[in-house]
């Protein structure tokens, strides 16, 4: 279980797509937007803004399920759980782009793009890696850093649930937070 | 507690990992005659096409099983004594079990062809079959593929990539008859017919194989024609390895019959993978869906139940994803017209040139098939498992499947299943 994870509050999302841009930037070779857009293999976002009822935006990313249907469906064992605790991460060097993982994912968060890290740069599965390298360096995931409305936050799950209990308690006693 | 796992491929490997997780102190014995490392069998088609090396097919080696504390017996299981709780091995040794998992898989179904050289027809099931096919590959030569299912189709694509001309001989009126609906089947047939190097022969079967005059094999067809080929390979489905269980007292049909917990007629014995015949989520009867994700999932569920952690299995569900001439074809559940008579279907709008069809029976979704569609059949498989009703799939989802928020998202039809992050 992840101690800290990206919490999504879709009701706060305004659909600005900054999370998508910063996600792609963080996964580019140069890690800077101005140069990333000129790279041979364009980095792609691993978070997507889906369209919900009445065109309401919905930020959609990998939930790193346990057990993960994508990992069970992956024939070459390219989806690993030993890279960072609680995260399911695609190894582009092993991925063969067969599409079984995307077929198994209940959340439609696995897409197929050419990847700079795959030998020969074929089209492979691309999905959220939890920005594990940024997090290991003490930073927050790129999508969270980009979100200005609080729709994406990086929090301890238990603290988040505790805060939910507090909100419920305040609502029950008629106190506005 | 001693767990014995017979077969260490997709289901057995997954079961070993979950048994160790559920019961850290247990003794686990893995029985499999296959030499290490364990590899993913479906990947042989990628190796045939030259898209990966045979070494890259490895998914578990000695170190993997060592790290799980699994004792390996590199022998074939040949007998099961349910009363005494013993598995007999090919060396004559017997292994006692408290809980047993049968994950011994399936072998290729015979091609049903007569003739003095019928033994020359290759199968396409494992790495020995791959080596046999590769030995007979002649760039610029002619091959015959028997069977128009997924294996036959992958064989055709692989042999084309190796520079051979291929006769694809299909007994049904169209290829992939059991796997996709009529629209996708016709699309595939047209692409095959137009592909340089492929001759598609539908409603045709091979009667006899004999020595050829100009090439090693001569195939006599039921149409009266004869073909001379360098290589003949068959993909006609699989037969579960249950012969050794004939006297065990377990309930056997096409495979080992198991219930919704993957438990067989004996409460200490479980079955998973290609050998397990379990209730099908869509069709209702007990079936074998011999595909990788089903085997891995069944291995997990069986292991947890063996270890006393109750894990329900909603039933097996057919699912496939294969690349077809640069397009991606995916299908899940019941899409075969033979099983979908009287059902309602809905085609969703998608990006230009794509196709996505949802099949409903009694107002509940039972299948979906897509061609170059947004890869969201996982979501639809999830919907099938939850018995999603037609009226709960909103129009905004059907109108825009490329960008619509997931059905499992908060506010979606499958809400309540959503995770936080």
Q: How does pLDDT run along chain B (421 residues), one tens digit per residue?
A: 999 999 999 999 999 999 999 999 999 999 999 988 999 999 999 999 998 888 899 999 999 999 999 999 999 999 999 999 999 999 999 999 999 999 999 999 998 898 889 999 999 999 999 999 999 999 999 999 999 888 999 999 999 999 999 999 999 888 888 888 888 888 888 888 888 999 999 999 999 999 999 999 999 999 999 999 999 999 999 999 999 999 999 999 999 999 999 999 999 999 999 999 999 988 889 999 999 999 999 999 999 999 999 888 888 998 888 888 888 888 898 887 677 677 778 887 777 778 889 999 888 899 999 888 877 878 888 888 888 888 888 888 888 888 888 887 655 666 544 443 3
Cα–Cα dist A128/A88, whole Å: 8
Cβ contact, residue pair A157, B420, below 8 Å? yes
B226 and B123 within one domain: yes
Tokens of B372: 């170059």
Hey, is A36 helix, strand or coil?
helix
Whether residue B331 is contained in a domain is answered as: yes
Cβ contact, residue pair B293, A73, below 8 Å? yes
Query: Which CATH number among 1.10.10, 3.10.110, 1.20.1630, 3.30.70 corresponds to the domain A1-61+139-165?
Result: 3.30.70
Peptide bond into A67 cis (omega under 30): yes
Listed by start position, the domains of chain A span 1-61+139-165, 68-127
DSSP per-residue string spanning B137-196? --TT-EEEEE--SHHHHHHHHHHHHTT-EEEEE-SSSSTTTTTS-HHHHHHHHHHHHHST
Q: Tell me: the pLDDT tens digits for A58-114?
A: 999 999 998 999 999 999 999 999 999 889 999 999 999 888 898 889 888 999 999
So what's the pLDDT on residue B167?
96
Range of the domain at B211: 118-234
Cα–Cα dist B110/B191, whole Å: 28
Give Cα B29 distance to the centre of its chain: 25
pTM: 0.91
- Taking CA–CA distances from A79, the nearest residue in chain B reads B59
The neighbour count for residue B265, using CB atoms within 10 Å, is: 15
- Residue B126, chain A, CB below 8 Å: the answer is no
Q: Tell me: the pLDDT tens digits for A3-16?
A: 788 999 888 999 99
Burial of B332 (0-12, 13-18, 19+ CB in 10 A): buried
Cβ contact, residue pair B300, A72, below 8 Å? yes
Instruction: Dihedral sign for Cα B47, B52, B55, B60, please.
Output: negative
The DSSP letter of residue B114 is B
Q: How many residues does chain B have?
A: 421
Whether residue B409 is contained in a domain is answered as: no
Backbone angles phi, psi at B349, to 5 degrees: -70, 140
Backbone angles phi, psi at B304, to 5 degrees: -65, -40
Which of B56, B300, B420 lies at the smallest CB-CB distance from A67?
B300
Hey, is A158 helix, strand or coil?
helix
Q: Tell me: the pLDDT tens digits for A133-159?
A: 999 999 999 999 999 999 999 998 888
Cβ contact, residue pair A104, B293, below 8 Å? yes
Cα–Cα dist A71/A80, whole Å: 7
B247 and B226 within one domain: no
Residue A40's contacts (CB-CB under 8 Å, 6 or more residues apart) are none
Same CATH fold assignment for domains A1-61+139-165 and A68-127 = yes
B128 and B150 within one domain: yes
Which of A50, A72, A94 lies at the smallest CB-CB distance from B293?
A72
Q: How confident is the model at residue A2 (pLDDT cuts 50, 70, 90)?
A: low
B297 and B189 within one domain: no
B245 and B102 within one domain: yes
Residue A166's contacts (CB-CB under 8 Å, 6 or more residues apart) are none
Whether residue B262 is contained in a domain is answered as: yes
For the domain spanning A68-127, the CATH number is: 3.30.70.20
Preferred mutation among A4, A6, A17, A72 to probe B, highest tally of B CBs within 10 A: A72
Backbone angles phi, psi at B118, to 5 degrees: -65, -25
Residue A177 above 70 pLDDT?
Answer: no
Q: Are B37 and B324 in contact (CB under 8 A)?
A: no
B209 and B266 within one domain: no
- B353-361's contacts with Cβ under 8 Å and 24+ in sequence apart are B355/B183, B355/B184, B355/B187, B356/B401, B357/B181, B357/B183, B358/B393, B359/B181, B359/B333, B359/B334, B359/B335, B360/B390, B361/B334
Backbone angles phi, psi at B162, to 5 degrees: -90, 5
B247 and B228 within one domain: no
So what's the pLDDT on residue B215?
94
Using alpha carbons, list the distances in angstroms from residue B123 to A51, B79, B103, B164, B219: 47, 26, 21, 17, 16
Q: What totals of helices (H) and strands (E) does chain B contain, helices first?
A: 9, 28
Which of A48, A53, A77 lies at the smallest CB-CB distance from B411?
A53
So what's the pLDDT on residue B419?
41
B248 and B230 within one domain: no
Whether residue B407 is contained in a domain is answered as: no
């Amino acid at each position: 279980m992840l101690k800290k994870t990206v919490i999504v509050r879709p009701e706060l999302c305004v659909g600005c797509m900054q999370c998508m841009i910063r996600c792609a930037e963080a996964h580019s070779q140069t890690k800077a937007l101005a140069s990333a857009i000129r790279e041979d293999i364009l980095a792609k976002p691993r978070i997507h803004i889906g369209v919900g009822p009445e065109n309401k935006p919905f930020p959609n990313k990998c939930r790193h399920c346990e057990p993960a249907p994508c990992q069970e469906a992956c024939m070459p064992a390219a989806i690993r759980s030993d890279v960072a605790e609680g995260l399911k991460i695609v190894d582009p060097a092993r991925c063969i782009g067969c599409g079984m993982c995307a077929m198994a994912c209940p959340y439609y968060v696995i897409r197929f793009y050419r990847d700079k890290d795959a030998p020969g740069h074929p089209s492979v599965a691309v999905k959220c890696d939890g920005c594990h390298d940024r997090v290991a360096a003490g930073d927050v995931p790129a999508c969270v850093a980009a979100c200005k409305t609080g729709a994406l936050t990086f929090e301890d799950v238990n603290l988040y649930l505790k805060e939910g209990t507090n909100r419920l308690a305040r609502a029950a006693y008629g106190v506005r937070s | 507690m001693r767990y014995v796992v017979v077969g260490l491929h997709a289901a057995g490997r997954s079961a070993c990992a979950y048994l160790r997780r559920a019961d850290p102190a247990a003794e686990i014995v893995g029985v499999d005659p296959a030499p290490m490392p364990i590899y993913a069998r479906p990947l042989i088609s990628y190796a045939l096409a030259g898209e990966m090396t045979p070494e890259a097919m490895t998914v578990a080696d000695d170190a993997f099983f060592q790290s799980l504390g699994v004792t390996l017996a590199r022998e074939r299981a040949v007998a099961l004594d349910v009363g005494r709780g013993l598995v007999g091995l090919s060396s004559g040794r017997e292994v006692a079990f408290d809980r047993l998992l049968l994950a011994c898989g399936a072998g290729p179904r015979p091609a049903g062809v007569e003739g003095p050289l019928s033994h020359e027809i290759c199968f396409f099931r494992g790495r020995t079959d791959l080596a046999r096919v590769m030995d007979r590959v002649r760039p610029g030569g002619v091959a015959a593929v028997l069977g128009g299912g997924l294996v036959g189709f992958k064989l055709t694509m692989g042999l084309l990539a190796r520079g051979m001309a291929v006769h694809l001989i299909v007994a049904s009126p169209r290829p992939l008859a059991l796997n996709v609906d009529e629209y996708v089947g016709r699309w595939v047939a047209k692409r095959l017919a137009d592909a340089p190097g492929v001759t598609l022969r539908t409603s045709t079967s091979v009667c006899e194989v004999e020595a050829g005059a100009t090439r090693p094999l001569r195939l006599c067809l039921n149409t009266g024609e004869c073909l001379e080929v360098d290589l003949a390979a068959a993909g006609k489905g699989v037969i579960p390895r249950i012969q050794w269980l004939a006297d065990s007292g377990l309930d056997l049909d096409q495979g080992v019959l198991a219930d919704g917990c993957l438990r067989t007629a004996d409460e200490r014995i479980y079955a998973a993978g290609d050998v397990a015949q379990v209730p099908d989520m869509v069709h209702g009867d007990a079936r074998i869906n011999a595909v990788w994700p089903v085997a891995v999932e069944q291995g997990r569920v069986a292991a947890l139940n063996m270890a006393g952690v109750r894990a329900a299995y909603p039933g097996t569900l057919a699912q496939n994803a294969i690349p077809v001439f640069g397009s991606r074809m995916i299908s899940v559940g019941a899409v075969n017209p033979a099983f979908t008579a009287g059902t309602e279907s809905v085609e969703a709008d998608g990006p230009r040139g794509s196709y996505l069809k949802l099949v409903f029976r009694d107002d509940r979704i039972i299948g979906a098939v897509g061609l170059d569609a947004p890869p969201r059949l996982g979501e639809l498989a999830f919907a099938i498992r939850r018995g999603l009703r037609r009226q709960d799939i909103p129009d905004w989802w059907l109108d825009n499947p490329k960008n619509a928020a997931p059905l499992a998202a908060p506010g979606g039809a499958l809400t309540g299943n959503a995770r936080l992050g």
